[in-house]
Structure 1
Amino acid sequence: MPMIQMDRSDDVDVIRALSVDTFAQTFADTNTKEDLDEYFANNLSRDELQREIDDPDSVFLVASVDGEPAGYMKTNVGAAQTEPMGDDSLEIQRLYILRDYKHHGLGTNLMHTAFDMARAQGKTRTWLGVWEHNDPAIAFYKRFGFTRCGSHTFVVGHDRQTDLLMQTPVPARG
């Protein structure tokens, strides 16, 4: 599966389309349309995503299948992390795969890429937040050794939800 790092200025539209489509596919059944629309407008707007792409402490990677974007991952280090987890940490802020491409190894490949990035930057820990009711995602992360280390509030529109914070030591190359 080819992966490409997104250009920091020209690919915001690809990232936005993947962000909105994957979030809607994952959470439309558990959120109102109004809350989703507000989340998209405030958190996944073209301007907000361009700001994130331009942040030198954040990286977007897109997984593609036959040249078509199929999913993406956003990682953060340093001040770009959404929680103050320290300079030894790499955050996986978003890891989403379009429904038609799930269960084809894309998420696993992105996770291994995150670990490679963390090792290359001398990080000792990888962490993420996951909605407390997203059982498939929680199970996926547990397969990579992630364990719960806390929680924080994640707001979708006007709905205050709880994300579990999970972490794992960066595994040795293997």
Structure 2
Amino acid sequence: MIDKTIREATVEDIPALAQLGEATFVETFGQESPAEDVANYLAEAFSLEKVTAEMAEPGATFYLSFVGDELAGYLKLNTDDSQTEPEGPDSLEVQRIYFLKKFQGLGLGTDFFRLVDEKTKEAGKKRIWLGVWEHNQKALHFYEKKGFKPFSEHVFVVGSDRQRDIMMEKKV
């Protein structure tokens, strides 16, 4: 049996969270955009200052996933005004859900989505939504299996590279 745990991130976790954010982004998307665009995005999105500001934002919460004592992945949830799109007060956004490749396939994503469902109900929300890159077939399939359906799209910018994200939702 695999020793898996999830806990809410604290300010003490910011350096590890920033490092994990960079590592998982590079593993997942590093070959999909020009190197300069990826480097610029990483410097902007995962600086200690940016992660600190995101963690302090009302309505934003980070969770960490561990396998044994190793940090395996993270989740960022947004409610109310912290949502990246104005999806309304009845919605909860899964802004980020990433795992290091060596931990994929262990059921950690399913564990996170159990937590997402729990937090959505606790917050009295009626809908969960997220954006996923149109070419990330593995993630699209995973979200569909979890009951998410496409409802719109938006642009996700990596440096100067404009990418299309499919916005998906699940009613609770």
Name the TM-score, length of structure 1 as normaliser. 0.95
Secondary structure in structure 1 of the residue aligned to 2:86:
coil
> What's the % identity of the aligned pairs?
38
Give unmatched runs, 5+ long, in structure 1: none
SS in 1 for 2:129: strand
What residue number does 2:117 align with?
115
Q: 2:167 corresponds to which residue?
A: 165
CA RMSD of aligned residues (A): 0.7
Q: Distance in 1 between matches of 2:46 and 2:164?
A: 19
Question: After superposition, what is the alpha-carbon deviation per residue over 1:83-141, rounded to whole angstroms, capped at 9, x for unaligned?
Answer: 01101000000000100000000011001101110001111100000001000000000
| Counterpart position of 2:100 | 98
Which of 5, 9, 34 matches 1:6?
A: 9
Query: 1:65-104 counterparts in 2 under 5 A?
Result: 65-104=67-106
1:19 is the counterpart of 2:21: yes
Shift of 1:29: 1.7
Partner AA of 2:169 in structure 1: Q
CA distance in 1, matches of 2:18, 2:75: 12
The residue aligned with 1:32 is 34
SS of equivalent to 1:84: coil
TM-score by structure 2 length? 0.96
Q: Secondary structure at the match of 1:140?
A: helix
Superposition deviation, residue 43 in structure 1: 1.5
SS, match of residue 29 in structure 1: coil
Mapped contact 2:19–2:46 kept (Cα < 8 A):
no
What residue is the counterpart of 1:142 in the other structure? 144
The one-letter code of the counterpart of 1:136 is K
Deviation at 1:56, TM superposition (A): 2.3
The alignment partner of 2:147 has SS state of coil
- The ranges of structure 1 where at least 4 consecutive aligned residues each deviate by more than 4 angstroms after the TM superposition are none
C-alpha deviation, 1:71, in angstroms: 0.4
Please say if residues 59 and 79 of structure 2, whose CA atoms lie closer than 8 Å, have aligned partners that are also in contact.
yes
